Amino acid sequence: MYKAPGRINIIGEHTDYNDGYVLPFAIDKYIYLDIKKSDTYLFHSKNSNQEISLKNLMKTDTWADYIIGVILELEKRAGKIPPFKFYIDSDLPIGAGLSSSAALEIAAAYALNDILDLNLSLKDLALIGWKAENNFVGLNCGIMDQFTIALAKINHALFIDTYTQKHELIPLDLKDYNFYIIDSGIKHKLGNSEYNTRRNQCKKALNKLNKNSFREVAYEDLKNLNGLLFNRVKHILDENKRVLKTIEALKNNNIELIGNYLFESHKSLKELYEVSCEEIDFIVDFLKDKVLGARIVGGGFGGSVLVLSKSNEFEMLINELKFKYKNKYNIDLSYFKVKTSNGVEYFEEDMNI
């Protein structure tokens, strides 16, 4: 079968659809996918024991749409794709800002490319997943998630310049520190519409500045903006700088600096880009002065917090945080220590389908 990892972005949030920089890596939690030729299309989720059977491809408003979107995009590149049964399993939390949807897209694209010998490159598959999300699912996302899931390597972060689509593997050695993910338990309900709204606001700012790309926008242009558009563009400019500074810090083994950038990024996402939420802010506020760094990750409006901390320090404070969070929001926080992973791959096991 095939497995496609989730991803975490160290820094560079909401920059990937604004011609900016991102620095994600793949994690060792996966969407698993097995496929078999069939007379009709069948989508089976082992987690939810849900099965969707279709004679013709159409929108289902379920998780199957991520695969259907990929099939339709592949057909544009490679002609008719015959029907298959798709079996899905997962140990990747869904809706937690870890990109389970892009993992599903890339798993499907990779599996079909492999079985049908389509000879598409990993970058092609990433772009097919990205188009499926934009054209069929309806989230006008950037290229970060699909690129990471297709191209990441274990023990590395992937620096992507989303303007040129150039990417570079950056060794990820955190010395005495580790990354943790805390899942707030808040699913991003408003996420998709607010995400597309942010995107439109950024386009509007570009028009106002009379520029074709954010690559042409500099700090001095901020004087021509005010209010909300000023805030959005300031976030993008600052966040791009933080990505470059984080890479520099990683190269110089200066992990302490990265912590500051994470807190700064959170503040900016909360105040300037306005994609955080009360529960996530509660977690980050609690962690201030207790860990090296923390921030919301992913699209926002819920999801997860990325924490950079020493293991013993983190283990000492997580119980207190869980207790306080439960008291306030009546939600049990879950968390895990993050490990890096390779991007999508085939592995010698099957699901007995």
Binding residues for ligand GLA (CB under 6 A): 13-14, 16-17, 99, 141-142, 144-145, 298-299
The angle at the Cα of 187, spanning 104 to 299, to the nearest 5 degrees, equals 65
Annotation says 183 is catalytic: no
- Pick the closer one to ligand GLA by CB: 17 or 110: 17
Smallest gap from Cβ 215 to ligand GLA, in A, equals 17
Backbone angles phi, psi at 120, to 5 degrees: -90, 145
- Residue corresponding to tokens 């700088």: 241
Q: In whole angstroms, how close is the CB of 300 to ligand GLA at the nearest point? A: 7
Is 114 or 194 the residue whose CB approaches ligand GLA more closely?
194
Residue 115 CB-density burial (10 A; 0-12 exposed, 13-18 middle, 19+ buried): middle
Choose the catalytic residue: 145, 173, 238, 332: 145
At position 131, the amino acid (one-letter code) is K
* CA-closest candidate to residue 97, choices 212, 200, 191: 191
Instruction: Report the nearest approach of ligand GLA to the CB of residue 91 (Å).
Output: 19
What is the DSSP code string of 147-176?
HHHHH--TTEEEEEETTTTEEEEEE---TT
Q: Which residues, in sequence order, are bridge partners of residue 340?
A: 27
Residue 290 structure tokens:
């207790």
- Token code pair at residue 149: 């899931």
How far apart are CB 17 and ligand GLA at their closest, in Å? Answer: 6
Residue 328's alpha-carbon distances to 278, 279, 296, 302, 331, in angstroms, are 11, 9, 19, 16, 8
Q: Which two tokens stand for residue 77?
A: 């590149």
Nearer to ligand GLA, 13 or 264 (CB): 13
Backbone phi and psi for residue 241, each to the nearest 5 degrees, phi listed first: -60, -40
Smallest gap from Cβ 162 to ligand GLA, in A, equals 9
> For the CA atoms of the chain, what is the radius of gyration?
20
Taking the C-alpha atoms of residue 123 and residue 114, their distance in angstroms, rounded to an integer, is: 14
Residue 82 C-beta: closest distance to ligand GLA, Å: 29
Catalytic site positions = 145
